[in-house]
Amino acid sequence: MKYVINVGFGNFVNKERIVAVVSPNSAPIRKIKEQMKDAGRVIDVTQGRKTRSIIVVDSGHIILSGIAVETIADRINEE
């Protein structure tokens, strides 16, 4: 499984499709999150926990994850 990464709670994403991993704390990112939610382009894999990172993929969707940005970046960079 070298092309997928665990984004939390048994959920995986193809790392070649990831465009960005961002923190959900800034106002512009929160606004984008709400716009995407209204458009039906949000995939929530937090299992009801706090969103600690937002993963932007090339399909135009965003994935809300309960895993920290740094942890996901480390998982992407692992060989």
pLDDT of residue 79 exceeding 70: no
**pLDDT number for residue 75:** 95
Dig out the tokens for 65 from the structure.
Answer: 């994850």
**pLDDT number for residue 2:** 80
- What one-character DSSP code corresponds to residue 42? E
**pLDDT number for residue 1:** 62
Q: Which amino acid is at 77?
A: N
Alpha helices, DSSP H, located in the chain: 27-39, 69-77
Residue count of the chain, please give it: 79
Q: Which amino acid is at 43?
A: I
Dig out the tokens for 4 from the structure.
Answer: 């997928």
pLDDT in tens, 23-72: 999 999 999 999 999 999 999 999 999 999 999 999 999 999 999 999 99
Neighbours of 16 (CB within 10 A): 10
pTM assigned to the model: 0.93
Q: Provide the residue ranges of all domains of the chain, joining segments of one domain with +.
A: 4-77
